[in-house]
Structure formats: structure tokens, C-alpha cells
Structure 1
Amino acid sequence: MVGDEAEKGDSMSKTVKGSLMVLLAGLAWGISGASGQYLMAHGTDVHLLTSLRLMISGVVLTALVLWRHKEKVIALVTTKKHFKELLIYSLLGLGLNQYAYLMAIRYSNAGTATVLQYLSPILVLIFVSATAKRLPTITESLAILLAILGTVIMACHGELSHLAISPIGLFWGVFSALTYAYCVIKPVNMIKTWGSLIVIGLAMLMGGVVFPIVTRAWRYPLMLTADNLVALIGIIGIGTIFAYTFFLKGASLIGPVKATLLASIEPVASVFFAIVLMKELFYVIDLLGMALILVAVLLISFRDLLLYQRERWLLKAVKRQKRF
């Protein structure tokens, strides 16, 4: 009895700690968007910013995983098949997503870009339904319709004859959602084998080496004023290194499904920081479109959470039966 109480208390403390870590990670990702917008508005080129973000974050995260899991890192980079998969994920997934997201911010703003990127769970849902050759459920269909409606409202303000945001901004926002969906689907097996932080850290490092070479990022000047330095810390230190490590640690404590649900605070935080820090103006109809997309994502997240909890409950019930 005492043991059960202690176990419950320990489980509760892990849940609270994990939830707080994930929420802080979501807020940190929100800060990264506003920081990126500030830097690009004050003379930092998107190619240079993407390169710096990938390179510095990759070095720090790889150093961290080398310190903790040196043998696994060496095993991954010396396994030809997995190294090739990691390289593809790095260039076509993580690296391209970072670039697309910053391009979306450049041609719209941090809040709009983040909300459009949050179409990715809906795209993953459509992909999974198509590959499984099944029709979406009623809940899934509702989520898809809400996401489409929210995107149309944001893009057109309800008038289909014109776009309320720039076409190129809309393109990069939707493209960032596509690349993010790829980032969710592609590394599933690698993450199961090697762990999230190892895969993400090495992928960022690879992207940080290749991306600046491809884009010749060194051609662009870096204006290192005090404010720009703070913004760099915001996008790299807080919005990437801190955010990823806290999210992954929090997810390990509360489970990936609940973590994904709590991380949905990111678009809300991004809009908030865009308004407060960048003085962006959002119309009521913009916020309505954003809300519809967020509701669509939450519908899928809540469904996944209920399924996850049901599976855990069934497993516990089976274990109890085995005891007797």
C-alpha cells in the first residue's frame, strides 16, 4: 500500500516535471520565430541565419550526445545504411524545414509562418490514411476540413478573389508544413534504434556543414549589434538547443502523445511574441483562421491521447489479470 502511494507520487512528479519541460519548449520555439523575424528585419540574410542555426545547434547537441552516448554515435556514423538515411533526413528534412520556415517568416511573419507549419499533423494524417488505404474517420475528416478552412481564411480573409498574404509567403508556409511532415515520418525507425537527440543532433550538424556550402552563406554579412546578438541567442540558444533538449526530455517523462499535445502552445506563443516583440498586426479573421488550424491539430492530438491512454489501461488490466 505504501509502495503504491510512493509510486503514484513519483509518477505525478514526473508528469508535472515533464509537462512543464514541454510547455517551456513550446514557449522557446515561439521565441525562436520572433527572434528570426527580428534578425531578418535587421539585415541578417535567411541563408546565413539558417546556416548558423544548423551549425551551432548541431555542434552543441552533437557534443552533448557524444558526452553521453559516444558508442551509439560512432555506431550510427559507421553504419552505412543508417548514415545514408540520416544524411537524406538532414538535407531533405530537417535542414530544408529550417530554411522553409525562416523563408515563410521572411515573407509573412513569425505567427503566420508557425501556424501554417502546424498544418503538418494534418498532412501526416492524410499520408498515413493514403498508405494504409483507408478513409479518414469522422474526427480525422473534421480535422482536415477545419485545417483547410483555417488556411483559406488566413490566406484570403474569406474572399477567394484575392490573397490577404503574399503568395510566396503562403507557398513557403505550406512548404514548411510539408517538410515538417517529412521530418515526422522519415526518421521513425532511426529514432527507435538510436534515440531522438542523437538523430536530431547529428542531422543538424550535417545540415550545418552542407547547407552553407550549397548556399555560399559566407557571402552574407553578419551584423553583430547587441540586439542582434540577443536575437541570435533567442533563435539558437533558446529556440533550438534549449527547446529540443527540454522537449525530448519532457516527452520521455510524459510520453510522445501528451508531449505533442502540450507543445501545441507553440503557435499561440509565436503569435503572442510576434505581436509583443515585432508589433505585428493581426486582424480578427486572421486569428479565426489560426484558431481553426489549432483546433484541427488538437482534435488529432486528443484522439491520439485517448487511444494511447486506452492502450495503457488495457495493458494494466492484462497485467492485473496475470497476477491473479
Structure 2
Amino acid sequence: MNQTKKGTILTLVAGFSWGISGISGQYLMANGVHVNLLTSLRLLIAGLFLTVLAYFQDKKTLKILLTSKKNLLGIVFFALFGLVLNQYAYLSAIHHTNAGTATVLQYATPVLVLLYTCLRERIWPSLSEVVAIVLAIGGVYVMATHGNPSELAITPTGLFWGILSAFTYAAYLLLPAQLIRTYGSLHVISLSMLLGGFLFPLFSQAWNYSFDMTGSNLLALFGIVGIGTIFAYTVFLHGVSIIGPVKGSLLASVEPVASVLLTVLVMGTQFYLTDFIGMILIIAAVLLISLRDLLASQKAHLGEK
């Protein structure tokens, strides 16, 4: 197997694993696990494992992050207002809608990042970017109303958390950008996840909620933490190191497709034609932005040659 094919397969596997994470979370919350406890468990367990991995990979970088006041403040800020808030908003969106709908709504994030970039740089979006923005807004509208603006097709609470998860995911991508460029994503994400895993339970008093230790619940917990967080993240990093971040983000768009498919197969959730139309519009917007970035990177690479 050549390296490009290997990187492609690893990235696709990571995207599908993230889909498993969403449906596992939906199953647990449908069986009485509170979102505060689930968020805490996911952050703490995955944070511990990934931090240990980061330590054995490069403990010097980990020490630099922990002993620098400026870096540590950046980690704390990202942990609370990027990572923790996004995890909580996403799981809350799943709780009030379903894994497929919540994942697709969150995938409007690249459009939000695009809008932020245009405002920050004070530039107008290109034609393809305008089309992507219109597709994303149209997709959210169709999913939320089924074409009837007089009433919502999903609960207002579910729509709120779904849109908030997209905004917080944008913060998740933007806030640690400088730290990740300097110290690498594994060290920054693992420390932030571990810190969030300690701090969020204090705010939410997660210990007040129970977890029924049945075989199916433990399997679902392994699905959201083991497969959907630890495995997916490490495999995605390895895949992206081979094929590059632009192509990696494009291939990772398999996540919402996997999430919708698993929501139907595992939970028996019913989607309507209008739901699929809205999902297709949002995914098309993301693919359009990703393809634009892929073409731009290829042109830059050719220019360097």
C-alpha cells in the first residue's frame, strides 16, 4: 500500500469513528446518562490517555507548555471556551435532536470560519465562497423548518445547541491555532482536554449523576471515548501527517454521512426528504470550501516547483 492510499484510508476511518462517537453519545443519553457526566467522562478519560501519549512522544514540549505562564493561560482559555464548551454544546445538541442532525449542524463551522476570516482580513468572499455560505444557510434553514418558516421541524432547544456547537467548534479551531503551530496539536489538545476534564466536573458537579454499569452502556462509553475520541484523533493525526491537512479535512467530511447512517441503523431515527436535502446542502458547502483550499494548496505547491 502506498503512503497516499494509507493516509486516505486512515483519515476516512477517523471520520467514521467520529460518527461512532456521536451515536454512542446519543445511546448513553437515551439510557439515562446525563450530559454533564458524559462530557466529564469523555474529557477526563481521553485527556488522560492522550496526555500520557504526548508525554512519551515528546515530554520536553509538554514541560514547556506547563511551565510557561503565557502558554498555560492560552491552554486554559482554549480548554474552557473552545474545547469544553464545544463538547458540551455538541452532546446537548445530540440529546435534544439526534447524532446525525447535531453532527451536520456542527459541520457548518467552516463557513463560520470563512466569514470570520473575511471580516478579520476585511476582504470580500469569492464567488465560490458566497455559494458555500448560501448553501450552508439554506441547509440549516431547510433542516430547521422543512421549508415551512411558520414552524420549526426540530425543537428550538435542539436548534440552539446545534448552532452553538458550530460556533464553539469554530472557536475550537481558531483559539489554539498559534499554540498548535508552535507545539503541535497532540500536546495542546491533550493538555486542554485533561484540564477540561478536571475543571468541567467542578462547575457541573458531575459526581451527582449516576452511570448504570450495564454491558451496553460500557460498550457505548468505549464507543464515544475509546473509538470516537482517542482512536479517531490519533488515527486522524497520522493520516493527516501523510496526506496533509487540506485533503485530510476534505476526507473527514465522511463523519456527518456516517453519523446519519448510524443514527438510522442503530437508533432507528426517522429522517425525512427535507432533512436529507438540508444535510446535502451543508455538506456541499463544506466540500466546496475544502476543494477550494485543496486546489489552492496544489497551485502553491506547483508554484514552488
Answer whether TM exceeds 0.5 for this pair.
yes
The partner residue of 1:203 within 192, 204, 207 is 192
CA deviation profile, 1:254-300 (whole Å, cap 9, x unmatched): 10000000000000000000000010000011000000000000000
Equivalence for 2:98: 109
The partner residue of 1:226 within 215, 221, 225 is 215
Look up the equivalent residue of 1:251 and give its one-letter code. V
Equivalence for 1:52: 41
How far did residue 15 of structure 1 move?
A: 1.0
Look up the equivalent residue of 2:246 and give its one-letter code. V
How far did residue 132 of structure 1 move?
A: 0.5
**Distance of 2:172 and 2:38 partners within structure 1:** 20
Equivalence for 1:308: 297
The partner residue of 2:111 within 122, 130, 133 is 122
Look up the equivalent residue of 1:37 and give its one-letter code. Q
**Distance of 1:58 and 1:22 partners within structure 2:** 21
**Distance of 1:126 and 1:261 partners within structure 2:** 19
Equivalence for 2:257: 268
The question of 1:17 aligning with 2:9 is answered no
**Distance of 1:64 and 1:157 partners within structure 2:** 45
How far did residue 122 of structure 1 move?
A: 0.3
**Distance of 1:315 and 1:134 partners within structure 2:** 25
**Distance of 1:201 and 1:18 partners within structure 2:** 22
| C-alpha RMSD of the superposition | 0.7
Residue aligned with 2:271, SS: coil
Equivalence for 1:153: 142
Look up the equivalent residue of 2:98 and give its one-letter code. N
Structure of greater Rg: 1
Task: Give the TM-score normalised by structure 2.
Answer: 0.99
Aligned pairs for 1:32-181 (under 5 A) are 32-181=21-170
CA deviation profile, 1:58-84 (whole Å, cap 9, x unmatched): 000000010111111011110110110
Look up the equivalent residue of 1:299 and give its one-letter code. L
The question of 1:281 aligning with 2:279 is answered no
Where does structure 1 differ by over 4 angstroms across 4 or more consecutive aligned residues? none
How far did residue 233 of structure 1 move?
A: 0.4
How far did residue 86 of structure 1 move?
A: 0.8
**Distance of 1:190 and 1:248 partners within structure 2:** 16
How far did residue 17 of structure 1 move?
A: 1.1
Look up the equivalent residue of 1:33 and give its one-letter code. G
Stretches of structure 1 lacking an aligned partner (at least 5 in a row): 1-11, 317-324
CA deviation profile, 1:139-180 (whole Å, cap 9, x unmatched): 000000000000000000000000000000000000000000
CA deviation profile, 1:84-111 (whole Å, cap 9, x unmatched): 0011001100111000000000000000
Look up the equivalent residue of 1:25 and give its one-letter code. A
**Distance of 2:302 and 2:10 partners within structure 1:** 25
**Distance of 1:134 and 1:76 partners within structure 2:** 34
The partner residue of 2:238 within 245, 249, 260 is 249
Residue aligned with 2:2, SS: helix
Look up the equivalent residue of 1:312 and give its one-letter code. H
How far did residue 49 of structure 1 move?
A: 0.1
How far did residue 249 of structure 1 move?
A: 1.1
The partner residue of 2:176 within 176, 183, 187 is 187
Percent of paired sites with the same residue? 54
Stretches of structure 2 lacking an aligned partner (at least 5 in a row): none
Look up the equivalent residue of 2:231 and give its one-letter code. F
The partner residue of 2:226 within 233, 237, 252 is 237
**Distance of 1:15 and 1:294 partners within structure 2:** 24
Paired positions, count: 305
Look up the equivalent residue of 1:138 and give its one-letter code. L
Look up the equivalent residue of 1:174 and give its one-letter code. I
Residue aligned with 2:11, SS: helix
**Distance of 2:274 and 2:184 partners within structure 1:** 41
Task: Give the TM-score normalised by structure 1.
Answer: 0.93
Look up the equivalent residue of 1:15 and give its one-letter code. T
**Distance of 1:178 and 1:117 partners within structure 2:** 8
**Distance of 2:103 and 2:216 partners within structure 1:** 23
**Distance of 2:240 and 2:72 partners within structure 1:** 25
How far did residue 29 of structure 1 move?
A: 0.2
How far did residue 16 of structure 1 move?
A: 1.0
**Distance of 1:276 and 1:197 partners within structure 2:** 33
**Distance of 2:4 and 2:179 partners within structure 1:** 26
